[in-house]
Amino acid sequence: MKSRICELLNIEYPIFQGAMARISDASLAAAVSEAGGLGIIAGGTAPVEAIRAEVRKAKELTNKPFGVNIMLLSEFADGMAQMVCEEGVKVVTTGAGAPGKYMEMWKSHGIKVIPVVPSVAIAKRMVRSGADAVIAEGTESGGHVGELTTMVLVPQVVDAVAAEVPVIAAGGIGDGRGVAAAFMLGADAVQVGTRFLTAFECTVHQNYKQKVLNAKDIDTVVTGRRTGHPVRTLKNQLTRKFVALESTNATVQEIEQLGVGALSKAVVHGDMDNGSVMAGQIAAIVNKEQSCKDIITSMLSEAEQLLHKDWR
């Protein structure tokens, strides 16, 4: 039995690799797409030409479809929106905002548009503005998060929009049990981020991988609620500073200053004390390094057993 998302996107398996800013590059995305899922290159806050180069690399590494995520808070979002059209990208996911103003341009280039949504109201609005599917992302996720859990958000988004478009569940899904649970909630596919952090093809610093491998259930924390940009990361010296500063009457600028450059400290330099180590709550069950192919195969075969389904 094939998921309708597989037909929509011309992929083999209903697994998306979550776009992780600064981390999800051509190497990771192409490996996931080659393995039959949907690899996604993260635009994050990077300049347009850096991401164009990753798109071109991915095209050399795979002939299968892959996506680009456009983080709408980025100052380069407009240029990124244009670039995906120029490069013939097949799928665009969006995060941290509403992509309405780009919808017509993307549609006219045959791009499938799949926004991440943190609530039912936003899901409905995205579908009205032309989204081809939505990713319902629970607060278990790493990075910029909403309030609702995956367990609560997914069935409500399914009730609201699944008659019109497929729904992809994200947040807290790291093995076959999570995949099966998402399908039981009515999802058509899953998006997985944290589990791919420790993939062989993931180019993040080894210290970052090790911190994910060592993580326990309560090792993530959300900071930035006061600034309006809540972000889930693994606890460290930096998050302790954030928590301390947020409990004072420090200004939003002072708090945000602490985060400047912190993601690249972690991702590129492996600074696990002062870096922002974004990861989801499911990090605790990620305990080995594997190829993307093995991750996808093992998640799907576990889920298939639980669901008595056969995707292959």
d(C-alpha 162, C-alpha 246), whole Å? 39
Determine the Cα angle at 249 with ends 248 and 253, to 5°: 110
Minimum CB distance to ligand TUI smaller for 98 or for 285: 98
Residue range at the interface with ligand TUI (CB under 6 A); choices 28-36, 136-144, 215-223, 303-311: 136-144
CB of 222 to ligand TUI, least distance (A): 12
Of residues 39, 67, 138, 146, which one binds ligand TUI by CB under 6 A? Answer: 146
Long-range contacts, 136-139 (Cβ 8 Å, 24+)? 136/167, 136/168, 136/169, 136/170, 136/187, 137/170, 137/171, 137/191, 138/169, 138/170, 138/171, 138/172, 139/171, 139/222, 139/232
52-71 positions binding ligand TUI, by CB under 6 A: 71
Give yes or no for residue 73 binding ligand TUI (CB under 6 A): yes
52, 90, 144, 265: residue in contact with ligand TUI (rule CB under 6 A): 144
Check residue 45 for interaction with ligand TUI (CB under 6 A): yes
Query: Does residue 122 interact with ligand TUI by CB under 6 A?
Result: yes
Interface segment toward ligand TUI; rule CB under 6 A; list 30-38, 110-118, 178-186, 266-274: 110-118
Q: What count of residues does the chain have? A: 312
The whole-angstrom separation of Cα 117 and Cα 95 is 8
Rule CB under 6 A: say whether 21 interacts with ligand TUI: yes
| Per CB under 6 A, 44 contacts ligand TUI | yes
Q: Site residues for ligand TUI, window 154-183 (CB under 6 A)?
A: none
Q: Is 97 in the site for ligand TUI (CB under 6 A)?
A: yes
DSSP E strand boundaries for 140-285: 143-144, 167-170, 189-192, 220-223, 231-234
Tabulate helix, strand, coil % of the chain (nearest 5): 45, 15, 40
Q: Is 260 in the site for ligand TUI (CB under 6 A)?
A: no
If binding is defined by CB under 6 A, does position 193 make contact with ligand TUI? no
